[in-house]
């Protein structure tokens, strides 16, 4: 048992939709011919889930919602993916100013961080008390929203793309992991042909200050990933600890030994 549907789900989603289109993101992903009707978008979402038993969901449940929300969008040379690096990736992408993550698209921004589940017996059609987050007999129910979100976003990415991975996981967890959303829903769905094909995949491999370095570029799961990428016909590059990302991480871990070295170097400059 986890938390139930977020209170105010409808108002939050519609409010976020207006904020996204008229304030926050108007420079990046929306143009005037492409403004969406927020009520209509919410309706498409609601009709997929309200009064529906959670464990009956599947990968087509939210198709109409994503079609409406993401039609005509392409993300060229700025799409950024992440796996095990949510915080630092979003600090770096900066709400779409530097790069565009899934969460910077309208479809995902409207619900990121929220919880919801339908319930056929509840008067509201949502269960505000508790949501299952796994269905024994139907793995697809849990993936219905974020699986399709990830797949749809991967299909919009074009040109050079960026993937931020974590090479400091404990307990033998690899940087590139089977069963992650990135490996199951994003990597297989990058476009290989046409005007909007992906040309090159740039891996940014991070190591947290003062944490162990479990993998570097050219090692272990990164070799596996490189082979998959080259086999699909994309160019591959991998960089350990790009400096701009280290500085972001050190902003929150100023006391780490490696960050003190950075501070020392910066003072001498």
Measure Cα distances from 221 to 165, 168, 169 in Å: 11, 13, 12
Q: Which two tokens stand for residue 261?
A: 């070295």
Closer to ligand NGD at the Cβ: 150 or 214?
A: 150
Measure Cα distances from 70 to 90, 104, 152, 163 in Å: 20, 12, 8, 21
Closer to ligand NGD at the Cβ: 90 or 259?
A: 90
Interaction between residue 86 and ligand NGD (CB under 6 A): yes
d(CA 59, CA 65): 12
d(CA 110, CA 103): 9
Closer to ligand NGD at the Cβ: 81 or 126?
A: 81
- The stretch near ligand NGD (CB under 6 A) out of 12-20, 49-57, 80-88, 255-263 is 80-88
Interaction between residue 82 and ligand NGD (CB under 6 A): yes
d(CA 172, CA 192): 32
**Cβ contacts of 87 within 8 Å, gap of 6 or more:** none
Backbone angles phi, psi at 203, to 5 degrees: -90, 130
| Under 8 Å between Cβ of 29 and 73 | yes
How many helices (DSSP H) and strands (DSSP E) are in the chain? 10, 5
Closer to ligand NGD at the Cβ: 186 or 226?
A: 186
Closer to ligand NGD at the Cβ: 190 or 259?
A: 190
d(CA 142, CA 185): 13
Interaction between residue 81 and ligand NGD (CB under 6 A): yes
Interaction between residue 186 and ligand NGD (CB under 6 A): yes
Query: Which residues lie across from 75 on neighbouring strands?
Result: 157
Interaction between residue 104 and ligand NGD (CB under 6 A): no
Minimum distance from residue 266 beta carbon to ligand NGD (Å): 30
Q: Which of 5, 61, 180, 208 touches ligand NGD (CB under 6 A)? A: 180
Site size with ligand NGD, rule: CB under 6 A: 18
Q: Which of 128, 140, 146, 236 touches ligand NGD (CB under 6 A)? A: 146
Backbone angles phi, psi at 158, to 5 degrees: -140, 155
d(CA 204, CA 118): 38
Closer to ligand NGD at the Cβ: 132 or 262?
A: 132
Minimum distance from residue 169 beta carbon to ligand NGD (Å): 10
Interaction between residue 129 and ligand NGD (CB under 6 A): no
Closer to ligand NGD at the Cβ: 86 or 254?
A: 86
Q: Which of 43, 58, 77, 112 touches ligand NGD (CB under 6 A)? A: 112
Q: Which residues bind ligand NGD (CB under 6 A)?
A: 81-84, 86, 102-103, 108, 112, 133, 142, 146, 150, 153, 180-182, 186
């Amino acid at each position: 048992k986890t938390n139930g549907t977020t209170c105010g789900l409808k108002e939050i989603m519609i409010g976020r939709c207006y904020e996204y289109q008229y304030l926050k993101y108007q420079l990046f992903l929306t143009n005037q011919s492409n403004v969406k009707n927020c009520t209509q978008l919410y309706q498409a979402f609601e009709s997929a889930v309200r009064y529906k038993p959670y464990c009956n969901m599947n990968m087509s449940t939210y198709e109409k919602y994503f079609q409406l929300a993401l039609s005509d969008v392409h993300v060229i040379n700025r799409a950024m993916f992440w796996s095990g690096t949510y915080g630092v990736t979003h600090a770096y992408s900066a709400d779409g100013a530097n790069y565009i993550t899934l969460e910077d698209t309208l479809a995902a921004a409207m619900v990121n961080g929220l919880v919801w589940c339908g319930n056929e017996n509840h008067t509201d059609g949502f269960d505000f008390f508790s949501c299952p987050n796994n269905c024994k007999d139907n793995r697809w129910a849990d993936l219905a929203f974020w699986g399709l979100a990830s797949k749809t976003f991967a299909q919009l990415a074009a040109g050079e793309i960026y993937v931020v991975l974590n090479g400091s996981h404990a307990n033998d967890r690899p940087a590139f992991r089977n069963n992650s959303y990135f490996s199951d829903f994003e990597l297989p769905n990058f476009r290989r042909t046409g005007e909007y094909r992906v040309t090159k995949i740039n891996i940014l491999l991070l190591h947290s200050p003062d944490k162990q370095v479990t993998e570097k570029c050219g090692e272990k799961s990164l070799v596996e990933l490189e082979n998959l990428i080259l086999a699909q016909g994309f160019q591959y590059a991998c960089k350990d600890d790009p400096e701009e990302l280290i500085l972001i991480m050190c902003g929150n871990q100023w006391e780490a030994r490696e960050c003190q070295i950075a501070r020392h170097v910066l003072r001498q400059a």
